[in-house]
Amino acid sequence: MAGSERASSSANVREIEPSEGGGTVHRVIQLLSVLSEAREPIGVSEIALRLRLPVSTVHRLLKLLRAEGIVGWHIKERQYGIGAEFYRLSARVLASVPIPEIARPTIEALAEQFDETVLLGLHLPGQGAMMFASRADGSSDLQYRLEMLKPLPLIWGASGKAILAFLDAEEVGRVHSEAISSSEGVSPPDLADLRRVLAEIRAKGYAISANEKLRGAQGIAAPIFGPTKVVGCICLTAPIERMRGQDLNRIALQVSSAAKGLSHVLGHRAKSQASTPDE
């Protein structure tokens, strides 16, 4: 069996560091971690190498998990991957826990770090819109009113563009065709200019805007992803006067890092995001 295992997947699976607690539950969790991070099925010898466990031990655990559908067996390759039952259970867990609840510690930590308001924005598929679903405030007065749980256009502000940049080209075109002037009376940009801005956001991993959704407001936002697509954003917002003289790109990198951490919790696999899904 070992001779038929492909070594090509080894670069995609991290090696598990030894730790205390070598019981069956602990080993199962480590085994599932290896399988979930692999980008393709892998063989028992390779799994054993990553876990630093005997092949016989790993084979026994795999057999138990296969019987429950948690691990899948790929006959042709003679290798293992995540099973259908594990996917089903994962989907049920994600569906039962609202993203705002999962995101709460993240946005609270950012609000405390920068002493400004941080928002969780959620994409509203099919509406060409997003909404702010949760917020955490710093100690300073925000000085302007934020509307929560109300659909807002994706074409305006850092929060909207951080989501729009990771939708497919057809959706971007539709959003643009339905766009109207902003609440501040700004006309929608030319479609070519919009696509250029969105490409820059994808390359950087964050968006920065001012005076788009609200006059006097500065926004710094980064996208958050579920297992397969963008689901929303994290946006730090503050009065422009308070942000003058600050390194906005440095702040944006911190927001982006927090968004990536939240995306990981939501099941996203890190990869290059410099192109739209249909490219």
202 within 8 A of 276, measured Cβ to Cβ:
yes
CA dihedral in degrees (242, 118, 121, 215; nearest 10)? -20
Is the pLDDT higher at 12 or at 23? Answer: 23
Average pLDDT estimate for 148-155: 91
Could you tell me the pLDDT band of residue 3, with boundaries at 50, 70 and 90? very low
Predicted pLDDT at 262: 96
Whether residue 205 has pLDDT greater than 90: yes
Domains parsed from the chain with CATH numbers: 2-92 (1.10.10.10), 97-265 (3.30.450.40)
* pTM (2 d.p.): 0.69
Looking at every residue in the chain, the average pLDDT score rounds to: 86
Look up residue 93 and give its DSSP letter.
H
Look up residue 112 and give its DSSP letter.
H
Whether residue 134 has pLDDT greater than 50: yes
The C-alpha atoms of residue 107 and residue 116 are separated, in whole angstroms, by 10
SS3 of 42, please? strand
Within 130-247, residue ranges assigned H as helices are: 157-164, 169-177, 191-204, 240-243
Whether residue 147 has pLDDT greater than 60: yes
Give the tens place of pLDDT for each residue, 157-184.
999 999 999 999 999 999 999 888 777 6
The C-alpha atoms of residue 117 and residue 268 are separated, in whole angstroms, by 25
β-strand 207-210 against 71-74: which pairing, if any?
unpaired
Predicted pLDDT at 208: 97
Around Cβ 190, how many Cβ atoms within 10 Å?
A: 10
CA dihedral in degrees (95, 101, 106, 109; nearest 10)? -170
Whether residue 18 has pLDDT greater than 50: no
